[in-house]
Structure 1
Amino acid sequence: MAQRAPRRAGAQRTTQRDRQHPRARDTEGIIPILAKTIRQVEAAGRGGKVKPNGRTAYQVVALLMREERARVKADTTIIEAERAAGLTRLDGIATILAKMAARDTSLLALLADGAVVPSHAVSLKNDLLRAGGREPEPEAEPEPQAPAELAGSSRRVVPQTVIARQLANPFLAPDFSSVPARRPITGRLSDWELLNPLFRAFEYGGDATCMPLPEPSHSPHGIRGLELMHHQAQVVAAAANGHRTFLLADEPGLGKTAQALLAADAANAFPLLVVVPNVVKANWAHEAELWTPRRAATVVHGDGEKLDGFADIVIVNYEILDRHAGWLGNHGFRGMVVDEAHFIKNKSSQRSQHVLEVSEKIRERTSNALFMALTGTPLINDIEDFRAIWQFLGWIDAKKPRHALMAALEDTRLTPADPGFYGAARTSVIDLGIVRRRKVDVASDIPARRVADLPVELDDEAGRSIRAAEQELTRRLVARYESALAARKTPPVTLGVDHDLVRKVAEWERKNNGASKTGGNVFTVMRKIGQAKAGLAADYAGQLARSVGKVVLFAKHIDVMDVAEQTFAKRGIGYASIRGDQTPKVRKANIEAFLTDPEISVVVCSLTAAGVGLNLQVASNVVLAELSWTSAEQTQAIDRVHRIGQTEPVTAWRIIAAQTIDSRLAELIDDKAGLAARALDGSDEEVGSSADVQLEALMSLLTEALQAPDYGFNESPLAAN
């Protein structure tokens, strides 16, 4: 995969591979190979969804196209005519990729920054490189797999060091030494459906926000004199006192990693399994060394060739959990931590299912195991985002509360039909282990933060293209609305806009992703806006860097990051980059350069790859070049800077394209921010609809168009107001 090292002002961007292959002729090199491959995939997929082999080829072509585009742009040994010809041919390949993604929107996940590239895709990539006369990338050889663990999953592996540990502990048996006495639950709630009322209890707010926590008798610490803050030590004290399930939902930046490691130490929950996003694996290993220096930590990469099977702390990322779920469930773990637990909010996803599978196996083998779900943003779109997290913690199963929660609900002597049930039910759940503290309450020394919107006018060709795309999208919505209205056999009950029909049309558009031959969908419109804003956002970040010091710039799409980096290079501004396709070594070097090198003024970060687990508080200004679809993702990005260790007020500058759907999206994101506040912080803010932002954005476009004086569409519907 292509890697990006920190770029100082004026640095050259030529690589050894570029020098070895300076030219791309019409019938030579990698471009014809990519064009032939993607045409074959396109032809095979015309009848419907792209098959698995085609999906692999699609992803590989996209990756190689990006690398080749960067190489052609940076190669100083070719003349401009050849460069233009190469870029034109690559644009043709990109057009085919885009058309295929419009027909089969599931392909978009393969293009996302940070998308997993499986081993068979790496093999195909090397085959294409060889065919194009390039040096293939090294492939890791998989370790021999234990046949017993492969039953039911051809991808599952058992690392050799794990087998060695199993042989060294042949009589490792389940631990039921501390099984609590359980009285049968046969009370008034046995026939009630309780999960939905429990979720609703968090919609209605309440006074309770955090379980009762004990006062710590001392402050645990790691090496180098690191000491916990009071709010952190309280969680460790609760674990030492016997509490074993925690939804640790402190606001981002309050040190949840240290709390989890020392809580595991206090509960003697080793060996400990830690499941994390890929981008924070190295950070967890580093934190484990600081806070639990007596406990050896190992990080699982790929098939686990270098895994230490005897380690006390095993750190694995969500993306490879599927192939390791078998042995992890039988390894004898006494504790499990799931970091960024909102990643498992979708119970139907493979990621969630594997987390729940492993946790249930641990629960079966060890009755008093420690389970901790860590997330500063547990609610993304809906109260039911709680469901998978609660199931991981053992509070509920797929259909009903488990024993501890059921007993607590029975003790209230209330049913969902009784006044006061929802407040009592909320308290019963919180007492099981919800821990939520705000920075303003427990870390008042962290300076304030604010989000400031900077509207920019897009008056160039890009702006006209965006407005045209919005108009086409709005025309399609209105046409479907009018068609549905005309097809009705009975007249409408009320005059004016039928808001129920508006929602149905918006849902259809979102479900079909605007499958139109003439115009884009809401996602392509937002991407065009991001591309148009990229240079302006980078210019503003550069001005900030020259006036106030280091700046963090976040973007969602790779091409937006590319434009920003090119702008910094032209302006002579040193920058580093954090992307999903970097190796841990390159990523660590880029972070270190931004933190310590005075010549590196800006770090360009992917919202997906760098939005969690990083400490970038050396900066106090964040530029959001693109908007996210959730307030949670925006909050996570800002809190890379606004966290313990920050000494200056933090400002996040959102670059908003005026007179476009961008401004409405910003309002919808801000409206969503009240969801977690009401559910967890006891806020009186309105939660609003639980429908996601994409749906509400489409509904807004259609409603405003229908309420306009006419349907002329001579300008953007938003601009018309």
Structure 2
Amino acid sequence: MLVFHGTEREKDIAELNKYDLVITSYGTAAVDITFLLTISFDYVILDEAQAIKNPFSQKFKMVMLLEAQNRLALTGTPVENSSSDLYALMNFVNPGFFGSLRMFKDNLAAKGDNEDNERAGTLLMMTKPFILRRTKKQVATDLPPKTEMTIWCEMEPAQRKIYDRYRKQFKAYLNDKIDTIGLENSKLYVLKGLMTLRQICNSPVLIKDTPDFNGHSCKIIELMEHIMEKTTGHKLLIFSAFTGMLGLIRSGLEQQGIAYAYLDGKTTLNKRKEAVANFQEKEACRVFLISLKAGGTGLNLTAADYVYLVDPWWNPAVENQAIDRCYRIGQDKHVMAYRMICKDTLEEKILEIQDKKRKLAGELIPTDEGILKSLGKDDLLKLFG
């Protein structure tokens, strides 16, 4: 086996041909695609294959160029955002299977109407011969129970006042923008508004031009209570989509003298390995702070049995991947997973919209941009109260 990665990797065909198995990353393969195209592989296997779900992405275009007798795509989330994700995955393992992307969208992709059940049935029938599905219940029958719960957080008056002020401002502004330039052209304004309100739910100090805020974040108060009092003797994973929020939690841990590990998108590979080893092996290291996108895959953290998702993500599949960092083969403890939601805010509405928008047996939940495409003006304004 050869790990083809790092600055000292040798681009020598004769050297690679000595090995039965070559392991590399999507990023490295993209950089060295010209060299890799000179090699004919028996198999090309994609792990975390949802990485190529966008047929317009460089990753998708890169893997499609590789010459291979056989192709396999491994993923726990073949459909993250919409049924269109299947187009890229199936096009990799069976090029041309769905025809053009336009044909797929016109005839098979979910449209958000009464045709969806019929289209879903057709998709399942077409792809079934090419998919081998094994759920965790089937292959890991000895896994202990997993309990998922919601922690409802109540904002203190100072935080609530700031949230309501921004919510009203954005709602009035967006109502005018949508009427003036149309819903599609208002997309960036909507995203900015949603992002700001989500940050205020975590803590008002996270937003630009921070208003005067001398209060306390209800989520940090609740989280620190759990860490200090309710989970003594246990190890915790704490995920947030915002590195700024992780920084605030980090400060709280340091003030209390609680040892922790940390990982976000800027963490180097060596530091990442070191953080995982510290958390897994050192009893004193009780907490692992992880950015949702950077740590949602590729980590085995079975030392933990408590998981906290500090802020809701649009896509529950991403949240489930985060929880599965500790709920996997090798786990021997009952896992407790908590989603932290501020009452009477955008976060609560995100959960409601997710439930309403579920398609294909509850798999198709849109991400930030996808959700805008599936909502009309009235639905979008409801997000802002």
TM-score bracket relative to the smaller structure: 0.7 to 0.9
Is 1:348 matched up with 2:20?
A: no
Q: Once the two structures are superposed, what CA deviation does each residue of 1:186-233 show, in whole Å capped at 9, x if it has no partner?
A: xxxxxxxxxxxxxxxxxxxxxxxxxxxxxxxxxxxxxxxxxxxxxxxx
Q: Which runs of 5+ in 2 are unaligned?
A: 102-117, 205-216
- SS of residue matched to 1:435: coil
Structure 1 residue 424, shift from structure 2 partner: 7.2
Identity of aligned residues (%): 24
Per-residue deviation, 1:653: 0.8
User: Residue 128 of structure 2: which of 422, 430, 434 is its match?
Assistant: 430
Q: SS state of the match for residue 61, structure 2?
A: helix
Give 2:197's match in structure 1, choosing from 518, 525, 550.
Answer: 525
State the TM-score, normalized to the length of structure 2.
0.80
Q: Which of 308, 323, 331 is the equivalent residue of 2:39? A: 331
Q: Given the alignment of the two structures, is residue 298 of structure 1 paired with residue 6 of structure 2, yes or no?
A: no
Distance verdict in 2 for CA 1:481–1:610, change over 3 Å: closer
Are the counterparts in 1 of residues 146 and 335 from structure 2 also a CA contact under 8 Å?
yes
**Given residue 9 of structure 2, which amino acid in structure 1 is its aligned partner?**
G
Measured in 2, the distance between the counterparts of 1:482 and 1:693 equals 19
The whole-number CA distance in structure 2 between the counterparts of 1:570 and 1:697 is: 43
Q: Quick one: distance in 2 between partners of 1:699 and 1:544? A: 44
User: Aligned partners of 2:146 and 2:231: how far apart in 1?
Assistant: 21
Q: Distance in 2 between matches of 1:343 and 1:325?
A: 17
- Cα distance in 2 for residues equivalent to 1:333 and 1:388: 21
Q: Distance in 2 between matches of 1:384 and 1:643?
A: 28
| 1:618–1:641 CA contact under 8 A, matched in 2 | yes
1:581 aligns with 2:266: yes
Distance in 2 between the 1:480 and 1:656 partners?
A: 29
Q: Distance in 1 between matches of 2:123 and 2:54?
A: 24
Shift of 1:306: 8.9
1:642 to 327, 336, 353: 327
Alignment of 1:36-435 (within 5 A): 296-302=1-7, 304=9, 309=16, 310-358=18-66, 362-363=67-68, 369-396=69-96, 399=99, 426-431=124-129, 433-435=130-132
1:513 and 2:189 matched: yes
Aligned to 1:242: none
- What TM-score, normalized by structure 1, do the two folds share? 0.45
* Structure 1 gap ranges (5+): 1-295, 364-368, 402-419, 485-503, 706-715
Matching residue of 1:446: 143
Deviates more, 1:438-447 or 1:597-606: 438-447
Deviations 1:227-255 (A, max 9, x none): xxxxxxxxxxxxxxxxxxxxxxxxxxxxx
Contact 1:477 1:702 in 2 (8 A): no
| Structure of higher CA gyration radius | 1
Q: Describe the SS at the equivalent of 1:376.
A: coil
Q: Distance in 2 between matches of 1:355 and 1:467?
A: 47
Deviations, residues 640-661 of structure 1 (Å, cap 9, x unaligned): 1111122233221111112210
Cα deviations by residue, 1:255-310 (Å, 9 ceiling, x for unpaired)? xxxxxxxxxxxxxxxxxxxxxxxxxxxxxxxxxxxxxxxxx221312473599634
Higher strand share: 2
User: What is the aligned-residue RMSD (CA, Å)?
Assistant: 3.2
**1:478–1:439 CA distance, 2 compared to 1 (3 A):** same
Matched, 1:572 2:257: yes
| Structure 1 residue 537, shift from structure 2 partner | 5.5
- After superposition, the C-alpha distances for 1:543-587 in whole angstroms (9 at most, x for unaligned) are 367435111101112211111111111112111112222222221
Preserved CA contact (<8 Å) 2:80 2:363: no
Match of 1:457 among 154, 167, 173: 154
Structure 2 SS opposite 1:580: coil
Judged with a 3 Å threshold, the aligned counterparts in structure 2 of structure 1 residues 527 and 321 are, in CA distance, closer, same or farther, namely farther
Aligned-partner SS, 1:547 = coil
Matching residue of 2:236: 551
SS in 2 for 1:594: helix
Which residue is 1:608 aligned to?
Answer: 293
Decide whether aligned partners of structure 1 residues 648 and 670 sit closer, same or farther in structure 2, where only a CA change above 3 A counts: farther
For the residue of structure 1 that corresponds to 2:99, the secondary structure is coil
Match in the other structure for 1:692: 370
Deviations 1:462-492 (A, max 9, x none): 43222222211111222245558xxxxxxxx
